[in-house]
């Protein structure tokens, strides 16, 4: 079966101390940047740009009183 074929393509044995997952660090660093960018886009552009938004009524009332 192919499972055994897959295992036979193993060329080296890498132990715990000699393995640094540098590719994982690169990939996950990329993921981190994508997450931050998407979050900023969805919160500040999609959400805050989607007016009107529910606001604190009482705070605005106070502000309104201040104007008068």
Partner 1 sequence: MSNTYLDQFPAEAKVVRAAFYSSFFALAIGGLFGIVQTLHRTDVYRFMDSADYYTVLTAHGVLLAITFTIFFLVGVFTWAVTTSLDRGVENLRFTWAWYGLMVIGTAMAAIPIFAGFTDSIDMSASVLFTFYAPLQGHPLFYLGLVLFVVGTWLAGVDWFRSWRAWKAEHPDERIPLPTFMVLTTTIMWYIATLGVAAAILLFLLPWSLGLIESVNPLLTRTLFWFFGHPVVYFWLMPTYMMWYVMLPKFSGGKLFSDPLARVVFVLFLILSVPTGIHHQYLDPGIAEGFKFIAMTNTMFLLLPSLLTAFTVVASMEHGARQRGGTGYFGWLKALPWRDPVFTGMALAGLMFAAAGFSGMVNAGMNINYLVHNTFWVVGHFHLTVGTAVALTFMAVTYWFLPQITGKALWSRPVALVQVVLWFVGMTFMSNAMHRAGLLGVPRRTAEPQYEGVTFEAAVGSVGELNAQIALGGVILTISLVLFFANVIATGFNGRSDELPSNGYADALSGPEDAPLVLDNLKLWTAIAIVLVIFAYTFPLLSIVQRGGLFGPEVITFPVSLESLAPIAAALEYGGLATVDGVASAVTGALEPGRIAIAEVVR
Partner 2 sequence: MNVHTYEKLWLIAAMVLIVGFIATITYGSVGLGIAMVGDQQETVEPTELADDERFGEPRVEQIGDDEYEVYVVAQTFSFQPDPIEVPENSQVTFHVTARDVIHSFSLAGTNVNTMVIPGEVAEMTVEFDDPEVYGVVCNEYCGPDHHNMEGQVHVVPEDEFDLTEVSVDAPDEVDAGESATVDVTVENRMLDGLETTAELEIGGETSVEEVALEGGEATEVTFTVDPETLEADDSDVEWAVTVDDHEERGTVTVIDAGDEDGGDDGGETDE
User: Would you tell me which residues interact with partner 2 (CB under 8 A)?
Assistant: 20-22, 24-25, 28-29, 32, 35-36, 39, 43, 47-48, 50-57, 59-61, 64
Phi, psi dihedral angles at 20 (to 5 degrees): -115, 115
Task: Report d(CA 26, CA 22) in Å as an integer.
Answer: 6
* CA atoms of 46 and 4, how far apart (whole Å): 50
Nearer to partner 1, 35 or 60 (CB): 35
Query: 1 or 21: whose CB is closer to partner 2?
Result: 21
Q: What is the DSSP letter of 50?
A: S
Which one, 2 or 68, has the nearer CB to partner 2? Answer: 68
């Amino acid at each position: 079966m192919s499972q055994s074929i897959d295992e036979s393509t193993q060329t080296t044995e890498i132990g715990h101390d000699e393995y640094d997952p540098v590719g994982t660090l690169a990939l996950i660093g990329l993921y981190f940047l994508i997450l931050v960018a998407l979050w900023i886009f969805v919160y500040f552009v999609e959400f805050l740009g989607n007016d009107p938004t529910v606001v604190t009524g009482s705070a605005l009332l106070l502000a309104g009183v201040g104007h008068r």
